[in-house]
Amino acid sequence: MTTTITAGATVVTPRVVLGYLAESESGNTIHDVIGASDPAVTLGVESSRSGTLGLVFTSTALAWAARSFLKTGAVFTLASTDSTPMAMRFVRDGRMSIELDDETLSTYTLRVTYREVA
């Protein structure tokens, strides 16, 4: 029950993945045809996954080290013994935020937007 994120020789292991959102976009183009009840469709290839990862760390040092690691311009590999379908290679795409849990004052959630790459 472990999730790891690697790039090169560096490995980050969050305590838990608190949030995982994966979306993809259809590559189809739909054309409305005047006078026809059905549209014409040009089929296309589905986009790769994109979304947000919520990574929980149980110490300040681990959370900020993970944030620094994910700021690098690298292709990351996510592997999980909990969820094989979640495994992927990805790059950061957009925002990254870090939030301290108000109750524990020691648990951080790092939220990373990503785009899957081949």
Percent of the chain scored above 70 by pLDDT? Answer: 99
Where does the pLDDT of residue 1 fall: very low under 50, low under 70, confident under 90, or very high at 90 and above?
low
Long-range pairs for 67-76: beta carbons < 8 A, 24 or more residues apart = 67/96, 67/98, 67/110, 69/5, 69/7, 69/10, 69/12, 70/5, 70/12, 70/96, 70/110, 70/112, 71/96, 72/7, 74/7, 74/8, 75/7, 75/117, 76/5, 76/6, 76/7
Percent of the chain scored above 90 by pLDDT? Answer: 85
| pTM reported for the whole predicted model | 0.84
Q: What is the pLDDT of residues 64-113, one digit of tens each?
A: 999 999 999 899 999 998 878 889 999 999 999 999 999 888 899 999 99
Domain residue limits, the chain: 3-23+49-117
